[in-house]
Copies of this chain bind each other. A is one copy, B any other.
Amino acid sequence: MSLTAQEVAIDLGDRSYRIAIGGGLLSSATTYDGLPRAGAALIVSNTTVAPLYMAALRAALSERYPQVHEVRLPDGEAHKDWQTVQKIFDVLLERGCDRKTVLFALGGGVVGDMTGFAAASYMRGVPFVQVPTTLLAQVDSSVGGKTAINHPQGKNMIGAFYQPQLVVCDLDVLDTLPPRELSAGLAEVIKYGPIADMAFMEWLEAHIDALLARDRAALVHAVRRSCEIKAWVVGQDERESGLRAILNFGHTFGHAIEAGMGYGAWLHGEGVGAGMVMAAELSHRLGLVDAAFVQRLTVLIARAGLPTQGPVLDSNDNAGRYLELMRVDKKSEAGEIRFVVIDGPGRAALRSAPDRLVRDVIDACCK
């Protein structure tokens, strides 16, 4: 691996940490220098990822931790619930793990979210490290300290803001990522353009094919720039009292798609892909961006291999079903849905919109 590892710093006072980006990081013991010492580590993974990387991570950690335990969770968003998190607690207690034990999340966003919530809650908080194995987790979910599980009535409804000690973005692991998951990850990469950095959007338009071909240099740039923008936003608003909400561009519609189709039917990034088109269309109908901008974003999303139209969730009243699902979104206040809109290219804002307008957007953007 000829690449030098790169770093992005997340500046949050005494909760600051770094994101390491590069090749060969996961299996190198030196990657973990500086982490807190402990008698034991626990690697949390799933049945898909563990066979690929568990042994390598375990070997790298065995120099640092006298005991390295592991737990393999069932794979998929449908399992992101209390019953699955409970398996992590069961192993921690069965193995007599104390409150210095370091948890390692080895997997995608689901594993990271559950491991982070378990780390936040076990004995009221133990250290944890994110080792994301999907592009989506590397550029978004593993950075910023949002952890959560789903409730039958809503996605990510139960969780904590809890920062990791380190995020390890090993680009080698993307080689084993199925194409559909690569595209889903690109949805979260693409979002950083319209909300914060049109130069990055231009770069993506020029390099989307290279990214799909897993060109290493292109991936390094995409992951690093995504993490930089996320670090900048999270550094200003760790607990999402304002600015941070812009990172949810496309997510209000996207969450409705995921929940309405049943978790797992659409990948999160696929919901965000179609959701960004809907949110851009809403921005246009609110007079904030022109039609050409919506078209340009739609083309980029399509080129990334993502859906640009939402599914029909209810053939009788599709828009009504979307609205119903969006009203339980965490950003809603007193039943009013708050949308992330594009307030001019490269700039996002949070605002409400008349139901009538939202219905028109849904009708125009679903098939």
Binding site for B on A (CB under 8 A): 39, 82, 86, 89-90, 93-94, 96, 98-100, 120-125, 146-148, 151, 153-154, 157-161, 239-240, 327-328, 330, 332-335
Contacts and interface: CB of A to CB of B under 8 A. Distances in A.
A151 B328 contact: no
B96 A335 contact: yes
A210 to B, nearest CB: 36
Given A96-B335, A125-B239, A120 B160 contact: yes
A64 to B, nearest CB: 15
A159 B118 CA distance: 10
Given A159-B124, A330-B99, A332-B98, A82 B86 contact: yes
B123 A330 contact: yes
A98 B332 CA distance: 6
B330 A153 contact: no
A334 B146 CA distance: 29
Contacts of A82: 82, 86
Contacts of A121: 121, 158-160
Given A93-B151, A94-B153, A124-B159, 8 more contacts: A39-B333, A89-B157, A89-B158, A93-B157, A96-B327, A121-B121, A121-B158, A124-B330
Contacts of A327: 96
A161 B89 contact: no
Contact of A154 (B93, B154, B159): B93
A141 to B, nearest CB: 14
Contacts of A332: 98
A197 B335 CA distance: 51
Contacts of A335: 96, 98
A332 B95 CA distance: 13
Contacts of A89: 151, 157-158
A254 to B, nearest CB: 18
Contacts of A125: 160-161, 239
Contacts of A94: 153
A147 B158 CA distance: 15
Contact of A124 (B100, B160, B328, B333): B160
A48 B36 CA distance: 45
A93 B153 contact: yes
Q: 7 smallest A-B Cβ distances: which pairs?
A: A93-B153, A39-B334, A123-B330, A124-B159, A121-B158, A98-B333, A124-B161
Contacts of A334: 39, 98
A161 B327 CA distance: 30
Contacts of A99: 330, 333
Contacts of A90: 153
A334 to B, nearest CB: 4
A159 B153 CA distance: 22
30 contacts: A39-B333, A39-B334, A82-B82, A89-B151, A89-B158, A93-B154, A93-B157, A94-B153, A96-B328, A96-B335, A98-B334, A98-B335, A99-B330, A100-B333, A121-B121, A121-B158, A121-B159, A122-B157, A122-B158, A123-B157, A123-B159, A123-B330, A124-B147, A124-B148, A124-B159, A124-B161, A124-B240, A124-B330, A125-B160, A160-B160
Given A96-B327, A332-B98, A146 B124 contact: yes
